[in-house]
Amino acid sequence: MTSTPATSTAMTAAAETASAAPAAEAADGTALHGPVTDWFDEHARDLPWRRPEAGAWGVMVSEFMLQQTPVSRVLPVYEQWLTRWPRPANLAAEAPGEAVRAWGRLGYPRRALRLHAAASAIQERHGGDVPREHGQLLALPGVGEYTAAAVASFAYGQRHAVLDTNVRRVFARAVTGRQYPPNATTAAERKLARALLPQDEQLAARWAAATMELGALVCTARGPECHRCPIAAQCAWQLAGAPAHEGPPRRTQTYAGTDRQVRGKLLAVLREAVAPVPQQVLDAVWDEPVQRARALDGLVSDGLVEPLGGGRYRLPHA
DNA sequence: CAGACGTGGCA
DNA sequence: TTGCCAAGTCT
């Protein structure tokens, strides 16, 4: 490659690599690769989906579960799922309601439905094996840009920019010098992520996992532990004096009293029930009838609840 | 593109 | 106690 440039120069060049294409060596962020991947080698958590026996299916299941849900809550459910459904075919053979039930309280249960649908699609379109191509992954239900890149990178060792909330925050600080990334992912962020991606395929995959882990363990949203950060000395945000976030406030979501809370209560009853649930039992979870009906209708139209007629409901059987 | 979509832990 | 935050996707 090249000699290691002065750190701050390297950072600035990487940040500006978007527009021009100057000395490619100084602009490629090479100075960060070693420190971050070395740190990862020493500090990476031993998570089950990172073990070789997890396979691509284990990686995919974990990625679905980790969408907006912390690792600590995913761990036990992940183990149950992989034990019960070690292959996509096993899940595809179940009623979708069983996936919703086994999802437990992870939240956003539509993910369970989509994972079940993804397993079916894998069975039908790919012979039961999680596809390797980014485009084929992206075509699966519940798989967006992030998850497609993550599976391709973590499960198959391919070179993809994996841009999740952790990586976005690390880049925002280390390279762009801001405390937080923009609310929505921008083209500039994608461009930067591609520019920083190591050329070597295996190193790129390791870099993706390492930057994510750094954001999860050290460069956290609230209390970043910069004294433990392998690139603190090169961090643009630190070098700028750790300025506070400017711009529009990060959007915050309310929950109490919303349809989402009602949906959650309704679905909790149905998950626990073995037999179809009478309307009157569901009515007991929320006293406001209009909102309650709207929430139930929403669950039905989402395919999370199956109406049986006669005022009885259950998790979907097909 | 802003908003919908669950749940629980922690400061 | 309230508010923030957690490996996003879909419409």
Q: Assign residue A293 the CATH number of its domain.
A: 1.10.10
CATH of the domain at A51: 1.10.340.30
pLDDT in tens, chain A (318 residues): 333 333 333 344 444 444 333 344 445 678 999 999 999 999 999 999 999 999 999 999 999 999 999 999 999 999 999 999 999 999 999 999 999 999 999 999 999 999 999 999 999 999 999 999 999 999 999 999 999 999 999 999 999 999 999 999 999 999 999 999 999 999 999 999 999 999 999 999 999 999 999 999 999 999 999 999 999 999 999 999 999 998 877 778 888 889 999 999 999 999 999 999 999 999 999 999 999 999 999 999 999 999 999 999 999 998
Identify whether residues A6 and A43 lie together within a single domain. Answer: yes
User: Crossing angle for the helix pair A30-43 and A7-16, nearest 10 degrees?
Assistant: 100
pLDDT of residue A14: 42
Beta strand ranges found along A176-305 (DSSP E): 277-278
Can you give the distance from the CA of residue A287 to the C1' of nucleotide B5 in angstroms? 22
What dihedral do alpha carbons A105, A108, A110, A114 form, nearest 10°? -90
Identify whether residues A124 and A194 lie together within a single domain. Answer: yes
Identify whether residues A272 and A160 lie together within a single domain. Answer: no
- Residue A150 near residue A63 (C-beta atoms within 8 A): yes
pLDDT of residue A318: 85
pLDDT of residue A253: 80
Residue nearest to nucleotide C5 (CA to C1'): A221
- Judge if the beta carbon of A88 is closer than 7 A to nucleic acid strand C: no
Residue at which a domain ends, from A252, A270, A298: A252
Q: Near strand B (CB < 7 A), which residues?
A: A 68-70, 72-73, 105-110, 183-184, 222-223, 251, 253, 255, 258-261, 263-265, 267-268, 298
Can you give the distance from the CA of residue A13 to the C1' of nucleotide C6 in angstroms? 32
Q: Report chain A's C-alpha Rg in angstroms.
A: 22
What's the pLDDT tens digit per position in A72-116?
999 999 999 999 999 999 999 999 999 999 999 999 999 999 999
- Judge if the beta carbon of A301 is closer than 7 A to nucleic acid strand C: no
Q: Which nucleotides of B are covered by protein (CB under 7 A)?
A: 1-9, 11
- Judge if the beta carbon of A68 is closer than 7 A to nucleic acid strand C: yes
pLDDT of residue A109: 98
Q: Which nucleotides of C are covered by protein (CB under 7 A)?
A: 3-10
Residue at which a domain ends, from A252, A274, A294: A252
Q: C1' nearest to CA of A70: which nucleotide?
A: C6
Give φ, ψ of A91 to 5 degrees. -70, -40
Residue nearest to nucleotide B8 (CA to C1'): A73
What dihedral do alpha carbons A268, A271, A273, A276 form, nearest 10°? 100
Can you give the distance from the CA of residue A263 to the C1' of nucleotide B5 in angstroms? 10
Identify whether residues A268 and A177 lie together within a single domain. Answer: no
Tokens of A31: 């100075």
Identify whether residues A108 and A208 lie together within a single domain. Answer: yes
Determine whether A79 is an active site residue: no
Can you give the distance from the CA of residue A45 to the C1' of nucleotide C11 in angstroms? 36
Identify whether residues A244 and A264 lie together within a single domain. Answer: no
Q: C1' nearest to CA of A105: which nucleotide?
A: B7
Which residue in this structure is represented by tokens 């395929």? A201
- Judge if the beta carbon of A58 is closer than 7 A to nucleic acid strand C: no
Catalytic residue from among A25, A63, A145, A306: A63
Residue nearest to nucleotide B1 (CA to C1'): A184
Can you give the distance from the CA of residue A255 to the C1' of nucleotide C2 in angstroms? 12
Residue at which a domain ends, from A252, A274, A299: A252
pLDDT of residue A28: 64
Can you give the distance from the CA of residue A108 to the C1' of nucleotide B7 in angstroms? 8
Q: Domain range holding A304?
A: 259-314
Identify whether residues A112 and A228 lie together within a single domain. Answer: yes
Identify whether residues A124 and A263 lie together within a single domain. Answer: no
Total tally of structural domains belonging to chain A: 2
Identify whether residues A248 and A263 lie together within a single domain. Answer: no
Identify whether residues A308 and A172 lie together within a single domain. Answer: no
- Residue A31 near residue A7 (C-beta atoms within 8 A): yes
Identify whether residues A191 and A274 lie together within a single domain. Answer: no
Identify whether residues A65 and A21 lie together within a single domain. Answer: yes
pLDDT of residue A273: 97
- Residue A284 near residue A296 (C-beta atoms within 8 A): no
Check residues 161 to 190 of chain A and report those whose beta carbon is under 7 Å from nucleic acid strand C.
164-166, 169
